[in-house]
Amino acid sequence: MTAQPQKRKRPSGVQLAEWRDGWLFATPFLLGIIIFWLGPMLYSLFLVTQDWDMLGSPQFVGLANITNALADPLVEKSLYNTAYYTFIGVPLQLIIALLLAVALNQNLRGQSVYRTIFYLPAITPAVAFAVVWMQIFNADFGVLNNILRVFGIPGIKWLFDPDIAKPAFILMSLWTVGPQMVIFLAGLQSVPVELLEAAEIDGASSWQRFWGVVMPMLSPVVFFNLIIGIIGSF
């Protein structure tokens, strides 16, 4: 006797309702992926193959844009400058944000005031941000050069010397570590007190507790800040 093929059961009304509700709730996320991620990505691939001055109609040129970019010495220089800024600036930002978070995680008087002060630069309007740092980096009467002259060091053309401009921009970026500091602070406050007490009972010093207990617990936070910092710097 040959086995009769089993008939496929039709989904019940409850299953159809669950399927409908699932797609309904997932629709905003799917639309966001298509409109804000997949759509721009495909459009970018289209633009790579076009010669377009934004005034006339785009003309298909194949891979000519990529060939020209690979042969352009400015592309190599710009990639080097971006990598320099990213792989030096981002680790410095993480270190300073972590140090500030550790300091502000202590039982200090006026703790909330200090947290606000260190976070304020991150929400400073861009115009005010630019004005402040132009005053600091001004080659003639800037704050930094005035301090250097006190010690007999001649003024530096911070933003006009190609070799100094990159460190100047990295120094400028350290002013806005407030969001990273807040994330580190939240991570520090989530470390179980019991683990720190157990390590202290075992004779671990403050540094050993920080390096052996706190840092492993903070590793997801460090990784998150690192990825967000690299994306932002690029």
What's the CATH code of the domain at 216? 1.10.3720.10
Instruction: State whether 104 and 140 are in the same domain.
Output: yes
Mean pLDDT of the chain: 87
Of 28, 49, 69, the domain-final residue? 69
Q: Residue 8's pLDDT is what?
A: 66
Give residue-wise pLDDT tens across range 180-195.
999 999 999 888 888 8
What span, in angstroms and rounded, lies between the C-alpha atoms of 57 and 52?
A: 7
**Count of domains forming the chain:** 2
Q: Check: CB of residue 103 under 8 Å from CB of residue 110.
A: no
Task: For residues 176 and 134, state if they share a domain.
Answer: yes
pLDDT tier, 155 (very low <50, low <70, confident <90, very high otherwise):
confident
Q: Taking Cα atoms as reference points, which of 219, 228, 216 lies closest to residue 176?
A: 228
* 11 vs 116, higher pLDDT: 116
CA nearest to 97, candidates 169, 173, 205, 166: 173
What is the token pair recorded at 162? 């190609």
pLDDT digits (tens, 9 = 90+) for 50-97: 998 888 888 899 889 989 988 888 998 999 999 999 999 999 999 999
Q: Give the largest CA-CA distance in the chain.
A: 104
Q: Where are the alpha helices (DSSP H) in 36-177?
A: 39-48, 64-71, 73-104, 111-119, 126-137, 143-150, 162-173
CA quadruple 73, 78, 81, 83: dihedral, nearest 10: -110
Q: Closest by alpha carbon to 69, among 43, 42, 49, 46?
A: 49
Q: Are 152 and 178 in contact (CB under 8 A)?
A: no
**Domain of 29?**
13-69
